[in-house]
A and B are shown apart, each in its own frame.
Chain A
Amino acid sequence: MSRLLPLALLAALVALPLALGPSPYLLNALIVTGILTIGALSLNLLLGFTGQLSLGHIAFFGIGAYVSALTSLGFEVDLGFGYRIVHEPWPAAVGFGLATLAAGACGWLIGRLSFRVRGAYFVIVTISFAEVVRLVALNWVELTQGPLALTGIPAITLGLPGIGTWTLRTKLQNYYLVLAVGTLCWLVVARLVGSRFGRAMRGLKENESLALSVGINATRTLTVAAVISAAMAGAAGSLYAHYLRIIDPDVFAFTTTVSMVIMVVAGGKGTLMGPVVGGLIFGLLPVALRPVMAPEAQWIVYGLVLIVILFVMPRGIVPGLADLVRRRPARPAPVLEPSPVVQR
């Protein structure tokens, strides 16, 4: 794919709010879509490039949201045995950093636990992990307020000593913050995929035995991928918390993971632009449909669009369009197998 396309898309996204004018509704939709797209980008690193499906990806997102919120709100927890933890509020930007680190640490833990056995086991471990974390957020009321939600989360304040500070309260500011973080995440994925590490991931996905035989350490490679992926999801969660300023255990909803998977698969897993294209389409589709049909019908159309995309372009939109541009049949050339007579 051309190097210019991502740049053109970035320029369009930078200019978009100017074209839309001051429409809080559209800006809100764009911000939430952008945050989910960062989640999809991070999921693509695992699903697309290592082939491991994390169906509990929302756990990293939610952990990022809660860590960031609690860091900037402060909390007081009784651990029993007379121990109490009292945390004074820290700046929201610190919360963002801690959210990224905490989610990354959870990614390491999950990777260590589950990459010795892969495939279906990884899927199950990630789903279970997300459910456990959700139940903790729901029931550890002293820390998380449970279903009462954490409210009054401060907006992120950016600033350099001596230059000045900006508190990102408006939707427009948050839009550009999400765009900046998203661009950074995209660049990280792009750099990783083009590096030695990216080749190791691809090798493991395509032919694990052969990858091992050329000296690629499977457990280490997959764990590093899980850490980076989880850290990005945590960063997205932190943005979410500081944008909405309120979070409750519903941030751990399984359906959000499903949305991210749809964005990645429909856009084209294992491609750099796939999750971005899929994220924008499926994030903004409800917005586009809202003026013309009832909510129930919207979801039917949403499903139909997904089916049509995957029917016409089974590998996703981006690889499908790339094939069209090259004017080549999408079908890969047949793999030549040895004739059975000669083989044995």
Chain B
Amino acid sequence: MSPILSVDHAGVRFGGLVAIADLHFDVQPGEIVSLIGPNGAGKTTAFNVMTGFLKPSQGEVRFRGTSLKGLQPHEITRLGLARTFQRTSVFADDTVFDNVMIGLHRQGGRMSRAPLLDALLGRAGASERALRERAAALIDWVGLSARAQERAGALAYGEQRLVGVALALATEPAMLLLDEPVSGMNASETRVFVRLIRQIRERGITVLLVEHDMPMVMEVSDRIVVLNYGRLIAEGPPAAIRSDPAVIEAYLGQGSAARRAAAEAQGCEAQGSVSEAAHA
């Protein structure tokens, strides 16, 4: 089976600072893959590269065989690769319902040839009704029906995350990138979210997530990709990752020995400064 997403030797540097270096991994259709690593390992940077918010300095990302090189974020979304955000995951001033209506921007049957004209002449009624039904169904699916008419910015943090997921799902993605979806959630909220991730996969959507919550990652992932200092240090099923010495060192051995080892492994002055920055 050909991979749905391939990160092909991608690298990002901000000036002399290497955020990710030569990152190379594939995600197969239908998988739940987690991208983990200590703070500053480059996980969010990798997400931003995959979704067009950052241009890689080298390498490229391919989605369903299409190179994402030079594509704008909205164009990548239209190819079927959606994402959520770590912090601001909602349109705070709008109701939950209106949030999802905004998320349905590209949906609604066949797009009219002149949507603006239709809007001006009031001809969009039928497609608007269909959109409203879909928005209600999506809100119901993530379990926020009772909150539909509340201002999204006033919701609890965990609920805002659910709105973010509903927004991403509204774009009808083939693959969903979740950026730290359960950070700030308590244990029971996290359990609900794990179930939601599985249900997302059952909809036929491939999931790649960045997460710090190790028990959650170990529970939900088919496969885990570990980054440290912008480099891939391990890749495999949860059981293998748990006992991988490089991973254990990256997470536990953050003393001077680990730092020296990392600096030696990278063997470059510029990258040495990254590790300093990452630990600062």
Interface residues of A (CB under 8 A from B): 188, 191-192, 194-200, 202-203, 206-207, 209-218, 224, 332-339, 342-344
Q: Tell whether, in the assembled complex, residue A343 and residue B120 are in contact, meaning their CB atoms are under 8 Å apart.
A: no
Expressed in whole angstroms, the Cα–Cα distance for A194 and B167 within the complex equals 19
Expressed in whole angstroms, the Cα–Cα distance for A209 and B179 within the complex equals 14
| 108-149 of chain B: CB within 8 A of chain A | 108, 115-116, 118-120, 122, 124, 128, 131
B42: Cβ under 8 A from any A Cβ: no
Q: Tell whether, in the assembled complex, residue A195 and residue B124 are in contact, meaning their CB atoms are under 8 Å apart.
A: yes
Q: Tell whether, in the assembled complex, residue A335 and residue B91 are in contact, meaning their CB atoms are under 8 Å apart.
A: no
Q: Tell whether, in the assembled complex, residue A218 and residue B91 are in contact, meaning their CB atoms are under 8 Å apart.
A: no
**A residues near B98, Cβ cutoff 8 Å:** 199, 202
Binds A, one of B2-10, B80-88, B225-233: B80-88
B206: Cβ under 8 A from any A Cβ: no
**B residues near A188, Cβ cutoff 8 Å:** 120
| 57-78 of chain B: CB within 8 A of chain A | 72-74, 77-78
Q: What total of A-B pairs shows CB separation below 8 Å?
A: 123
Dominant secondary structure at the A interface: helix
Q: Tell whether, in the assembled complex, residue B72 and residue A212 are in contact, meaning their CB atoms are under 8 Å apart.
A: yes
Q: Tell whether, in the assembled complex, residue B116 and residue A199 are in contact, meaning their CB atoms are under 8 Å apart.
A: no
Interface size class of B (residues with CB under 8 A): 35 or more
Q: Tell whether, in the assembled complex, residue A342 and residue B153 are in contact, meaning their CB atoms are under 8 Å apart.
A: no
Expressed in whole angstroms, the Cα–Cα distance for A57 and B51 within the complex equals 35
A191/B77 contact (C-beta < 8 A), A200-B102, A207-B92 known: no
Contact of B106 among A198, A209, A215, A333 (CB under 8 A): A215
Chain A proximity mask over B158-200: 1 for CB below 8 Å, otherwise 0: 0010001001101100000000000110000000000000000
Query: In the complex, how many angstroms separate the beta carbon of B268 from the nearest chain A beta carbon?
Result: 27
B257: Cβ under 8 A from any A Cβ: no
Q: Tell whether, in the assembled complex, residue A206 and residue B92 are in contact, meaning their CB atoms are under 8 Å apart.
A: yes
Q: Tell whether, in the assembled complex, residue A214 and residue B92 are in contact, meaning their CB atoms are under 8 Å apart.
A: no
Q: Tell whether, in the assembled complex, residue B82 and residue A216 are in contact, meaning their CB atoms are under 8 Å apart.
A: no
Q: Tell whether, in the assembled complex, residue B101 and residue A199 are in contact, meaning their CB atoms are under 8 Å apart.
A: yes
B157: Cβ under 8 A from any A Cβ: yes
Q: Tell whether, in the assembled complex, residue A335 and residue B92 are in contact, meaning their CB atoms are under 8 Å apart.
A: yes
**A residues near B156, Cβ cutoff 8 Å:** 336
Q: Tell whether, in the assembled complex, residue A196 and residue B115 are in contact, meaning their CB atoms are under 8 Å apart.
A: yes
Q: Tell whether, in the assembled complex, residue B89 and residue A210 are in contact, meaning their CB atoms are under 8 Å apart.
A: yes
Q: Tell whether, in the assembled complex, residue B73 and residue A203 are in contact, meaning their CB atoms are under 8 Å apart.
A: no
Contact of B91 among A192, A202, A342 (CB under 8 A): A202
B25: Cβ under 8 A from any A Cβ: no
Q: Tell whether, in the assembled complex, residue B91 and residue A209 are in contact, meaning their CB atoms are under 8 Å apart.
A: no
Q: Tell whether, in the assembled complex, residue B153 and residue A213 are in contact, meaning their CB atoms are under 8 Å apart.
A: no
Considering the complex, give the chain A residue whose CB is closest to the CB of B122: A191
Expressed in whole angstroms, the Cα–Cα distance for A211 and B101 within the complex equals 12
Expressed in whole angstroms, the Cα–Cα distance for A203 and B133 within the complex equals 20
B93: Cβ under 8 A from any A Cβ: yes
Q: Tell whether, in the assembled complex, residue B171 and residue A215 are in contact, meaning their CB atoms are under 8 Å apart.
A: yes
Q: Tell whether, in the assembled complex, residue A211 and residue B102 are in contact, meaning their CB atoms are under 8 Å apart.
A: yes
Expressed in whole angstroms, the Cα–Cα distance for A215 and B106 within the complex equals 7
Query: In the complex, how many angstroms separate the beta carbon of A189 from the nearest chain B beta carbon?
Result: 10
